[in-house]
């Protein structure tokens, strides 16, 4: 399947942060492997002058998702920490739109759209087709993709630029199936053409 990169397209890079990379507080196995393909997508969108969004977990130290406060995760991506920074090898342009999520102690937000201005920003830029890659397939990528679909975006899942945490074996495969079943289109780099 071929998918066009049109003037109504935007790239969304989900949570490629130090804490989700091997060596971080909540590592996604082989999470660093998404960086190189994402850099290629970033360059492709940058050359076309298309919007590039980067979401990030931006938790307060007492966030509800942390085990200490009743959640299921170790503390991670705490605001202004090394772990919350984007991976140093991720080549985000200076004009990247940064979306911080899960910023309040008592609110979870796996999706880049949840409790943020992302939808309004994309609408203002005339975006109708979103290309989504990043971490982790079975949590923040899945929820961002499902919300994009609910909001009416044509949603493209970058199969060569996602990795899952797989808390339960097979979670990532099930997440991909759920995204595709709900209308996302799974592609790789060679499926994109410029119009």
Active site residues per annotation: 15, 101, 140
Convert 83-110 to b/e letters by CB count within 10 Å (16 or more is b): bbebbeebebeeebbebbbbbeeeebbb
Q: H helices within 11-109, ranges in order? A: 35-47
Written as one string, the DSSP assignment of 84-152 is GSBPTT----TT-EEEEES-STT----STTTTSSHHHHHHHTT--EEEEEEE-IIIIIHHHHHHHHHTT
Tokens at residue 40, please?
Answer: 């290629």
Say how far apart CA 85 and CA 54 lie, in whole Å.
11
Say how far apart CA 101 and CA 157 lie, in whole Å.
20
What are 10's strand-pairing partners? 130
């Amino acid at each position: 399947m071929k998918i066009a990169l049109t003037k109504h397209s935007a790239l969304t890079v989900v949570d490629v942060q130090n804490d989700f990379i091997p060596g971080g507080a909540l590592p996604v196995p082989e999470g660093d492997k998404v960086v190189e393909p994402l850099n290629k997508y970033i360059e492709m969108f940058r050359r076309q002058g298309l919007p590039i969004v980067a979401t990030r977990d931006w938790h307060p130290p007492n966030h509800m998702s942390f085990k200490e406060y009743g959640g299921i995760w170790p503390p991670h991506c705490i605001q202004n920490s090394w772990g919350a920074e984007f991976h140093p090898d991720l080549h985000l342009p200076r004009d990247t739109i940064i979306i911080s999520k899960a910023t309040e102690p008592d609110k979870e937000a796996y999706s880049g759209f949840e409790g943020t201005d992302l939808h309004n920003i994309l609408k203002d830029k005339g975006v109708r087709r979103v290309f989504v890659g990043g971490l982790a397939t079975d949590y923040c990528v899945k929820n961002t993709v499902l919300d994009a679909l609910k909001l009416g975006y044509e949603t493209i899942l970058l199969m060569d630029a996602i990795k899952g945490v797989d808390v339960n074996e097979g979670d990532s495969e099930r997440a991909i199936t759920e995204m595709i079943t709900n209308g996302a289109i799974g592609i790789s780099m060679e499926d994109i053409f410029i119009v």
